[in-house]
Amino acid sequence: MQVIRDIPELRDWRESVAFDARRVGFVPTMGNLHAGHLALIDHAQRRADAVIVSIFVNPLQFEDPDDLARYPRTEEHDLERLERAGVAAVFLPTEPELYPHGQDEIVRVDAGPLGDRLEGAARPGHFTGVATVVTKLFNLVQPDVAVFGEKDAQQVAVIRRLVADLDMTVELAIEPTHREPDGLAISSRNRFLDAEQRRQAPAVHRALKRAAESLAGGHTVAATLAGARHWLSQQGFAVDYLAYCDDERFEEQTRLVPHGRLLVAARLGGVRLIDNLAVHTPHPTSLESDR
Ligand code: PAF
């Protein structure tokens, strides 16, 4: 595995792979690699000949400096996991390598209105930070295929729009959310949960499943969401949002749509957990009823 820390070396690596006419798969990460990341890598390996992973904790997408400072950085452990996973290369740029002129005056890629809704409203500027770094990484790595996780469903939607609106040629592949046996979505932030919080944490996923069942059972969107929010607060969570939206624009919906999604962000003490669940309505024609 080639460990690449600067842009000239990355360009050399990319040229050598192009020379061998190998298809490049790319998994961008912020490190602290877990089973969810390994599944993304496995997916990339099935779709490409050479897989490169980037590890960069992108300051541009953190609106809270304490959250950025606390984000787990586990380079040695990550490199071991990547080596074992058989990736061809890992790109580990420093902040000055990616943002040589600092962050204040950098040209940013605006994530548009989609980036201001739901998670974007809770974390202003977050998706513009994501869109900017992903654009830079795509330009540098020039992947044939890039793999992202459905756990960050709104991020996936932003990146789909980014690729479509800026005429990028990269193919996107989306891997389903990886969960612990009790349903908790695997995330780098789970390590901040203490034993009692870890016991409570699967309630986030349970709230989504109960809400999906409630919608399937014919309850209104408003009553379903109110019930799910109430239930989650009873379990000890401070709910940032629990919403039902369409799966493309992430606009909140008050009636069922053919491709809908339930999204939640909730805090347990100082730990913020997010999760989501696709709610596909099999018979859109039945949506005419006033739900
Ligand atoms: O999902 C992540 O880990 C990050 O948002 C990403 C896509 C690597 C951009 O920094």
Per-residue pLDDT of the chain (291 residues; tens, 9 = 90+): 999 999 999 999 999 998 887 899 999 999 999 999 999 999 999 999 999 999 999 999 999 999 999 999 999 999 999 999 999 999 999 999 999 999 988 999 999 999 999 999 999 999 999 999 999 999 999 999 999 999 999 999 999 999 999 999 999 999 999 999 999 999 999 999 999 999 999 999 999 999 999 999 999 999 999 999 999 999 999 999 999 999 999 999 999 999 999 999 999 999 999 999 999 876 554 443 444
Each residue's pLDDT tens digit, 170-200: 999 999 999 999 999 999 999 999 999 999 9
- Residue 37 a catalytic site member: yes
Q: For ligand 1, what atom is nearest to the CA of residue 159?
A: 7
Each residue's pLDDT tens digit, 90-107: 999 999 999 999 998 899
3-state DSSP assignment of residue 178: coil
**Which residue has its alpha carbon closest to ligand 1 atom 8?**
29
Polymer length of the chain: 291
Residues touching ligand 1 (Cβ under 6 Å) are: 28-30, 58, 61, 130, 133-134, 152, 155
**Which residue has its alpha carbon closest to ligand 1 atom 3?**
29
Q: How remote is the CA of residue 12 from the centroid of ligand 1, in Å?
A: 24
d(CA 214, CA 225): 9
Q: How remote is the CA of residue 31 from the centroid of ligand 1, in Å?
A: 9
d(CA 53, CA 107): 24
Q: How remote is the CA of residue 33 from the centroid of ligand 1, in Å?
A: 12
Residue from 166, 205, 153, 163 nearest 184 by CA = 205
**Which residue has its alpha carbon closest to ligand 1 atom 6?**
29
User: What are the extents of the domains in the chain?
Assistant: 2-175, 188-281
- Which CATH superfamily groups domain 2-175? HUPs (3.40.50.620)
How much is the pTM? 0.95
Q: Is the CATH number 3.30.1300.10 carried by domain 188-281?
A: yes
